[in-house]
Chain A
Amino acid sequence: MILSDNAYNAGFSVYTYLFKFRTNFTDFKLEKSVLKSVMNMTKFELIFEVVIRYLRPQGGEDIDFEELALFSLGLDDLGVKIFRYLKEKGIATVEEIASTLGANEEDVVNKLDYMYSLGIIDHLGRGYIHRWSLPEAIRRNVIRRITEILEKIAKLAEGGFDER
C-alpha cells in the first residue's frame, strides 16, 4: 500500500469510506477515533510495509505449518492461496491467478507485489515465479531485506537523532 503524501486527504477518504458503509452508532464512534488517528498521522511517504508476526497455533495436532509460516510473514488468506497456486504451477500471471481463484485482479497484484518485495517469490515480465522453497526464500531473501531496512533506519537515527 502506498499512502498519499497528503495524510489529510487519506484521512478524509477513510472517513468517507467508513461513513458510506457503516451506520451503526457504535461503529460511528469508532470511525471518528480512526479518523482522528489518521488525521494526526505524521506525513511520510510509505514505500513498503512488512508485517512479521510471532504466532501460536491454537490447539489441535493437525497444524498447517506452511500456512503458519505464511501468516507469520504477514500474508492473509488470499495471499496464502496465491502462494500455494504459484507453488503448484511454478509460474503464473495475475489474470490467470485472479480468474482461477475468483479474486479481484488488483487484490492479486497487491499480494504478489508484497510477496515479491518480501522476497518469497520472483517476478519477470508478466510472470510471477515460485523460485525458492519457503525456508530457502526466508533465509536467502527475507532476513536480508528486513535487516537492510532496519539497518537503514538505525543509520538515520544515528545521524539525525542520537547524536543531537
Chain B
Amino acid sequence: MSDDFEVIAEWIIRKLRDIDLSAADPDRVIRWVLYSLGVKDLGVDIYMYIRSVGRVTSTEIAEKFKISPTTARRYLEQLHTLGLVDYIGREYHLTRKNVASCIRDILIPRIKSVLEDIARVAESALEKEKEERFLSRKDIDRMVLAPVRRELDRTLREARREALKEIERIFSTTKYVGPKMVSKILSRVFDTLAESLRRLGEKTYRDIEIIKIKPTYPTRGLSIIETRDTIKYDVYSEYRLERRHLEYAKEKGKKIIIRVYDTLYLDEGISPDLIDVIEEIYVFGELIGPRNIIESLRDRIRGPGEIRYL
C-alpha cells in the first residue's frame, strides 16, 4: 500500500466454513468466532482470560502469557477495535459478557460507519472527476472565447479590406457612381461579411464540440453547488424548497446554505426534524414559509429581505 496513507485501525473479517454446533465444544466455537473476526490464538486466550478474571491490566497480560507489554497492548488493542473489550485507565474489561451482542451492538455499527465513510471518500473522488470534466469560466474564455474574438477581429479586418478594395476598383474604373452602384457595393460588402461570419460560426461550433462544454446550472434562476460538506443554493427567481431536498442533504450528511435574491418558498411538507440540515439562509429578496418552520430557523436566517408566513 502507498506510503501516502497511515493505517489507524484495521479489521479482518473471515468467512469460514461452518462448524457443527452440536458436536463442537464452547472453546472451539469461541475460537471459530474470534478467528472469523481476525483474532489469532493468543488473542483468543487473552480474551478468555479477561472473561475469567473480569478485569486485567496489560502488564498482567504480558506476565501471564510471557509476552512483551507492547505485544500485549497490540492484542488488547485489536480486541478493543472489535468492540469486545474496553478499558478505563490501565484496566481492561469485557464490553459485554455476550459476544453476539458485542458484534451486533458495537462491531456491526462501527464497520458500517467506517464503510459509509469510505463510500463518502469514494464520492469525493467522483466529484473531483466531475469537476475536472467541467471547464472553469477562465478555461472557457481562454480556450473558446479568446480564439473566437481573435477570429472575429481578423474576419472584420479582412472584410473591411475587401470592401475598400472593391470601392477603390469601382471608383477607378467608373466615372459615375449612382445609387445602383452604391447598393451593389454595399451588397457585396455584406455578402463577404456574412460568408466570413458563417465560417467563423462553424469554427466556433467545432471548437465547442471538441471540448464538450456542459452547462453546470441547468435550472434557470437557480444555482446549486454541491461540495463535500455543503449544498449551496443561490435563488435568483421563484423557487420552492421541498422536503426531498432536505432529506437528500440529510442522507448525504451535508448542510444546506441558501442565498435568496428573489423568492424562496419553504414547502409545507417540511417537518421540523429535517431543518437541522439548513445551516444558513441569507434573505435579500423574500422568504415565505410555515410559521413554525421559519420560527425554528430564526437564528439561522440573515439578511435584509422580507419574511412572510404561509
Contact between A156 and B125, CB atoms less than 8 A apart: no
CB of B1 closer than 8 Å to a CB of A? yes
Contact between A48 and B10, CB atoms less than 8 A apart: no
Residues of chain B contacted by A44 (CB below 8 angstroms): 16-17, 19, 31-32, 35
Contact between A154 and B118, CB atoms less than 8 A apart: no
Contact between A69 and B122, CB atoms less than 8 A apart: yes
Contact between A41 and B40, CB atoms less than 8 A apart: yes
Q: Which of A67-115 contact B (CB under 8 A)?
A: 67-69, 71-73, 76-77
CB of A27 closer than 8 Å to a CB of B? no
B95-103, B164-172, B186-194, B230-238 - the one binding chain A: B95-103
How long is the Cα–Cα vector from A159 to B104 in the complex, in angstroms?
Answer: 14
- The number of residues on chain A lying at the interface, defined by a beta carbon within 8 Å of a beta carbon of chain B, is 56
Chain B interface size band reads 35 or more
A161/B26 contact (C-beta < 8 A), A52-B114, A58-B3, A147-B112 known: yes
Which of B7, B32, B107, B119 contacts A54, CB < 8 Å?
A: B7
- Closest approach, in angstroms, between the C-beta of A16 and any C-beta of chain B? 21
Contact between B13 and A143, CB atoms less than 8 A apart: no
A162/B40 contact (C-beta < 8 A), A51-B12, A156-B33 known: no
Find the A residue at minimum CB distance from B12: A51
Per-residue CB contact flags for chain B residues 144-157 toward chain A (1 = under 8 Å, else 0) read: 00000000000000
Residues of chain A contacted by B1 (CB below 8 angstroms): 71, 76-77
Residues of chain B contacted by A47 (CB below 8 angstroms): 14-17
Residues of chain B contacted by A45 (CB below 8 angstroms): 16-17
Looking at chain A's contact residues, is the secondary structure mostly helix, strand, loop, or mixed?
helix
A143/B116 contact (C-beta < 8 A), A42-B41, A157-B99, A161-B29 known: yes
How long is the Cα–Cα vector from A133 to B7 in the complex, in angstroms?
Answer: 24
30 pairs, CB–CB < 8 Å, chain A vs chain B: A42-B35, A42-B41, A47-B16, A49-B15, A52-B114, A53-B11, A55-B6, A55-B8, A57-B6, A65-B122, A65-B124, A72-B121, A76-B1, A77-B2, A133-B122, A134-B122, A138-B122, A143-B112, A143-B116, A153-B37, A153-B103, A154-B101, A156-B21, A156-B32, A157-B30, A157-B98, A158-B98, A158-B100, A160-B19, A162-B100
* 6 further contact pairs, Cβ within 8 A, besides A42-B32, A69-B119: A47-B16, A52-B111, A54-B8, A67-B2, A139-B119, A151-B108
